[in-house]
Amino acid sequence: MNHDEYRAKYTSALEYPTKEQFTKVFVYSKGEVVWRGLYADFKPFSEGRFKGMLVEKVVDEDAFKVARRVYAADQVRLTEQFRQDLFVEHDVVTNPKRDKCYSLAWDQGHSAGYGAVASYFDTFVDLIKD
């Protein structure tokens, strides 16, 4: 597989959670709420329109933390699936040195993506085969 194919197969369907996604905005004028909604809806027209008004942003921290945990768990799942697929592809599922080989490949290539890790694994795997 090339880098794009790895990216397509092992990319989470979940969007990376940001605090803005869990932020509600309230705009006050003379003590009255004149606008309320999500930060994403507020941001495009916020400059100038609410000049001189009090703008309060409230983040749902609990929901944000849950979303981050869910996203992180999905990343772990995808990485483990990638790892197992490499072992199967190279017929080293039962090789006792497969994890060390993967660890070296991961250390060398993970910052460049799964394709780079696979490339390093391809290079290193011959060293552990009989």
Residue 63: how many other CB atoms lie within 10 Å: 12
Contact 42, 23 (CB under 8 A): no
Convert 89-98 to b/e letters by CB count within 10 Å (16 or more is b): ebebeebeeb
pLDDT, position 6:
82
Give me the domain span that covers residue 42.
3-127
Q: How far is CA 1 from CA 94, 116, 125, in A?
A: 23, 11, 16
pLDDT, position 90:
95
pTM: 0.79
What does the pLDDT look like over 17-61, one tens digit per residue?
999 999 999 999 999 999 999 998 887 776 678 888 999 999 999
**Structural domains in the chain (count):** 1
Mean pLDDT, rounded, of the chain: 92
Give dist(CA 111, CA 98) in Å, integer: 20
Whether residue 73 is predicted with pLDDT greater than 80 in this model: the reply is yes
